[in-house]
Structure 1
Amino acid sequence: MGNWRIKQFKAVSLKNGVLIEGLPGIGNVGKVAVDFLIDELEAIKLYEISSFTFPHSVFINEDNLVELPKIEIFYKKAKGQDFLLLSGDVQPIDEVSSYEFSEKIIDICKKHGCRDIITLGGIGLSEIPKKPKVYCTGNTSDAVKKYKDPMINTKLYGVVGPIVGVSGLLLGLSEPRIRAVALLAETYGHPMYLGINGAKEILKYLGKRFGFAINTEKLDKEVKAMEKETMKRTEELSKISKKSAGKRLLGQDVNYIG
């Protein structure tokens, strides 16, 4: 059976597709951004992924029933461009499964002819940034050049530490097959802080870059519900996996985790 269960719901044909990844991490910046895109663009579910390498737990949902942790990929064509949007409850909890999962996502990208991968995440700071900066790095200089914009900073050396988890591995494992970049927004590095402002800055850039018709102000109205659901799951899973991104001590060198 293997460690991975990948269920495909629809068959789609993509042309020069772009995968945008946002899994839980520092401030859940990437997850907040991609979940918002999925809702705003009314994307359709394409894949559902579950695994024995995910935390050994189930969630109680709004229907008072249990559900296993899962990662999902959604599809949307917008402005003539095909997008795969990757989000989920968890990340793989150890190094080997992180590599395996990242390779499987790259295989899915190759299967659908994706040419680009964009991973999203947060840079944990010891205090709340008033106006979060967004940084960009990638697997090649050409990839970074393609997504360069006055809204983002490409000078990361000495500012950002290791990019740990799927958001980093998708970049490292893609080259030279697929162009891959990471967009990392500053956020407060506390485990119970939801990086809405950082997510908004990333969404503004994506909206400009791809012409998405999204209203980021809606995020402010949805904060309460998102904080309750997203941070509740993050807290629960951190106790189980002991891999929570928030376990990094504040005030140390700035690092991005997953």
Structure 2
Amino acid sequence: MENGEENIRKMFKIKRLEKPKLNNTILIEGLPGMGNVGKIAVDFMIESIKAKKFIEIKSNSFPNSVFVNEQNLIELPKIELFYKNVKNQSFVFLGGDVQPMDENGCYNFCEEILNLFEEMDGKEVITIGGIGLPNIPENPKIFTTGNDKDIVKKYKTKHITNNIYGVVGPIVGVSGLLLGLSKERNIPAVSLLAETFSHPSYLGLKGAKKIIETLSNMFKLNVDTSDLDGEIEEISSEEKNISKELKKFIPKLPVNSESGTSYIG
């Protein structure tokens, strides 16, 4: 058992830039996925509230590629953790440009994140993702599900429904596994999922904005989403024509037979 845990530890290079004092910590995850809803939401919140990076993670379970940065030099893919203390509550944001490539790597990565989270006085996990639709939603609905009835009830509002059974298939990737593995550790965990267009190049800005506003209001984060409005307006003016063209070339996404929706991480 110890050898197994040691091998898992070797999969991840964890660089601690700072050891902040964290209390009552809530983890908010948003990695690349359907419509990049989670990534957009978390990246925007990090920048808006000036959250500070304190951990970098690299791993051989991440994609076998490098990125070219603004200095025209290469970087290995990494996932980062940022923190922000608001009164007596700490928020840790999990963001990055990649997810682990396979099932084994994803399980090990999520276990490692939860190990770190438990060291941070971790109390609650929130994951953010997208529900893929065959058409562009004009007014995306937000759904919630989780590993505990009480936490789902907490996030259910008049704008967010928990009537999700039969609407989506499996929640794939880090956004899904963090919920399941948190349950094994008795950590309440919830997912916020926004409807979005299923094409890989589409950005689910409208859904991301709704989720940002929900979390900002709930936790009094004072996130100003006005910067997203211009981008949403620009995309909205073009997306009808774009979607018509895209449908000529993209294969049809497998969907839930009852609802016509699907979820892919």
- Report the TM-score range of the alignment, normalised by the length of the smaller protein: 0.7 to 0.9
Deviations 1:162-198 (A, max 9, x none): 0000000000000142110000000011011011111
Are 2:91 and 1:88 aligned?
no
* Distance in 1 of aligned mates of 2:229 and 2:64: 33
* Distance in 2 of aligned mates of 1:248 and 1:77: 45
Q: Let me know the Cα RMSD of the aligned residues.
A: 1.7
Match of 1:241 in 2: none
TM-score by length of 1: 0.87
Secondary structure at the residue paired with 2:135? coil
Match of 2:5 in 1: none
Match of 1:196 in 2: 205
* Distance in 2 of aligned mates of 1:51 and 1:248: 32
* Distance in 2 of aligned mates of 1:8 and 1:255: 37
Displacement after TM superposition at 1:12 (Å)? 1.5
Match of 1:255 in 2: 262
Secondary structure at the residue paired with 1:215? coil
From 134, 159, 163, give the equivalent of 1:126. 134
Aligned partner letter, 2:202: Y
Contact conserved, 1:22 with 1:87, CA < 8 A, in 2? yes
Deviations 1:16-36 (A, max 9, x none): 110000000000000000000
Contact conserved, 1:75 with 1:84, CA < 8 A, in 2? yes
* Distance in 2 of aligned mates of 1:36 and 1:250: 28
* Distance in 2 of aligned mates of 1:83 and 1:16: 8
Are 2:189 and 1:180 aligned?
yes
* Runs of 4+ displaced beyond 6 Å: none
* Distance in 2 of aligned mates of 1:79 and 1:255: 39
Displacement after TM superposition at 1:79 (Å)? 4.4
Displacement after TM superposition at 1:78 (Å)? 2.1
Aligned partner letter, 1:207: S
**Structure 2 unaligned runs (5+)?**
1-8, 234-249
Contact conserved, 2:24 with 2:88, CA < 8 A, in 1? no
* Distance in 2 of aligned mates of 1:16 and 1:248: 45
Q: Classify 1:57/1:103 alpha carbon distance in 2 versus 1 (closer, same or farther; 3 Å).
A: same
TM-score by length of 2: 0.85
Q: Classify 1:248/1:86 alpha carbon distance in 2 versus 1 (closer, same or farther; 3 Å).
A: farther
Which piece of structure 1 moves more, 53-62 or 140-149? 140-149
Number of matched pairs: 236
Larger radius of gyration: 2
